[in-house]
Chains A and B, each alone.
Chain A
Amino acid sequence: MEQARKGDWVQVRQTVLTPEGRAPQVPDDTKKTPLLLWVKGFAQSDGKIGDDITVETMTGRKVTGELCAIDPRYVHDFGDFVPEFLKVDVQLKKLMKGEVAR
């Protein structure tokens, strides 16, 4: 578990800039955080989550970073149901009842 094998599709994370190295124009809250980068690629060696490993990205670049996910899933979806939209829909349908122009 949480062990990537060479050739697996994985995501790695790099720290691009530490908080001290952030650009001067960055707002204060952002300046307290590092600039992080994530990229996916094929693992070039075995490794555990948290290990530094090298991946080969889709364009053939070699990138080294901290292994953070194996076969990363897409986490976005349609979210929780939003009842407010129903209220809008019902209101609109009621307003236009019998008056649909086509």
Chain B
Amino acid sequence: MTLDMSYEAVMGRKNEIMKKAIGIDYTGFESGGISFDYERMMKEAGYSLEEIQNIQGETGVGNTPLLEMKNITALARKYAPKGKGARIFVKDEAANPSGSFKARRAATAVYHAKKHGYKGVIAATSGNYGAAVASQAAMHGLECIIIQECYDSRMIGQPEILEKQRACEAYGAEVVQLTVGPELFYTFLCLLEETGYFNASLYTPFGIAGVETLGYEIAQQFRDRIGSDPDAVVVTNAGGGNLTGTARGLIKAKSEGTRIIGASVDLSGLHMASDHDFNRKSFTTGHTGFGIPFATWPDRADVPRNAARPLRYMDRYLLVKQGEVFYMTEALAVLEGLERGPAGNTSLTAAFVLAQEMDMDQTIVVQETEYTGAGKHPMPQISFAKQNGVEVLFGDPDSEVPGKNIVFPDDPGSIKLREFDLEKARRSYIRNSVAKCGVTGEVSAEDVSFLAAETKTDEGFVRSVLADL
């Protein structure tokens, strides 16, 4: 019998395909209502911190350098009130084998796939994760397919994504490229079904647990060098896995006083699935187009229960502009001698301003950098933006309109932070949970307590939101 490969038929087989491709029975963690046992899922379906340190250590992942940004700190102090200007550190994750922190996630996913006898791995990603999975698959001798949303309908590709295609192919992977659209998921399902490969999703328990070592290392390196825990860790936020894993690692290191701050590039107004808008954004990740939808409804991911749940851990969520991040990418190169990014420098940009609010003896960690090169570099990104009709100018970063212009700050002092209202995000998450889980009657006590943990609030807050629905 030949399988019906129509869009509707394949989407209809989604649960069955996914179960085979991930090998986790998520129903065992479900309560039947809104809640599921997140911690038990992380424990039983994931790996312990020590196991992950060993898995990553085998392939040279992790233990990246912690660098102090003395010159960027000195620059920040020029704009800070007296006594302010916290010390900024950067965790140089570009030192990982595939050039980004994503190697940590890929290391556990590919190890898991091999251990369970899968012949290959598939990941749907246009970013650093593809290169990370391809690199790990090469190390473990598994086949690898990376699916990218890459081109607009004119077959014009984002330079950064084209570079990722090259990197994946350099590691021996097959790269399947698509035009813009959420139906990428259909192709993804078809390929999983055709090959029987493992779904190396970014959002499995072991994928997220792979990032815990990053948070744990930060705490250890700080205690060794500074003799204290960092006051704040700033995380570039997109799908939420980087933030979730880092925060969990810090908690495992008992660094509970460290504030976890998310930062995204503000791309408001651009539609992520629009053929027209696709090549008018100069960041392919770390932006609000992923950050906000994934924070307010994590289970939109390619697994039934997303292990990345950023609202559980986030203390503040800050937005910066594209032009500001490009400016700080230059600062990292000319003042610190580090050519990195640009997307990973979103958190550096936020840290530069945040430092000005914090005392001089306090510390901030920017917890990632990423490799840079042809395509994935400020020059091709800005040059591409200009070719696509985006105006590049100097001025007030707040006048930047994503897709229309990129405004470089006329002075580092005009780089600002824009607070994303976390209470609004939490309300939106609770609303989405009730709607998506189809709860019509009263929300159970168990679900209220789950929603409080999910939003880092209390039952009183959850009940007040529920009462307003």
Contact = CB atoms under 8 A, between A and B. Distances in A.
B374 A36 contact: no
A75 B75 CA distance: 37
A64 B408 CA distance: 46
B174 interface: yes
Interface string A40-82: 1100000000000000011111000000000000111111111
Nearest to A86: B330
Given A35-B181, A80-B386, A82-B383, A27 B71 contact: no
Contact of B383 (A40, A80, A88, A95): A80
B26 to A, nearest CB: 24
Nearest to A15: B179
B330 A92 contact: yes
Contacts of A78: 374, 377, 379-380, 383
Contacts of B411: 91
B384 A79 contact: yes
Contacts of B165: 74
Interface string B168-192: 0100111111111111001100000
A100 interface: yes
Contacts of A27: 271, 273-275
A102 B144 contact: no
Contact of A79 (B183, B335, B382): B382
B334 A92 contact: yes
B377 A95 contact: no
B73 interface: yes
Contacts of B327: 88
A61 B174 contact: yes
A95 B74 CA distance: 10
B262 interface: no
B392 interface: yes
Interface in B360-398: 374-375, 377-384, 386, 392, 394
Chain A contact residues, majority secondary structure? loop
Interface in B226-277: 271, 273-276
B380 A77 contact: yes
Given A30-B273, A79-B159, A92 B177 contact: no
Given A76-B380, A77-B375, A93-B334, A35 B162 contact: no
A36 B151 contact: yes
A49 to B, nearest CB: 14
B432 to A, nearest CB: 16
A35 B183 contact: yes
Contact of A75 (B162, B177, B412): B162
Contact of A39 (B157, B166, B176): B176
Contact of B194 (A33, A61, A92, A100): A61
A37 B408 contact: no
Given A78-B374, A101-B73, A59 B183 contact: no
Contacts of B454: none
Contacts of B392: 82, 84
Nearest to B153: A33
B143 interface: yes
A66 B121 CA distance: 26
A35 B179 contact: yes
B181 A82 contact: no
B182 A76 contact: no
A84 B394 contact: yes
B54 interface: no
Interface in A1-60: 16-17, 21-23, 25-27, 29-30, 32-41, 57-60
B185 to A, nearest CB: 9
Nearest to A77: B374
Interface of A: 16-17, 21-23, 25-27, 29-30, 32-41, 57-61, 74-82, 84-85, 87-89, 91-93, 95-96, 99-102
Interface of B: 7, 70-71, 73-75, 78, 120, 143-145, 150-151, 153, 155, 157, 159, 162-163, 165-166, 169, 172-183, 186-187, 194-195, 271, 273-276, 326-327, 330-331, 333-335, 374-375, 377-384, 386, 392, 394, 408, 411-412
9 nearest CB pairs, A to B: A79-B383, A76-B375, A79-B380, A101-B70, A33-B153, A76-B162, A58-B174, A80-B383, A30-B275
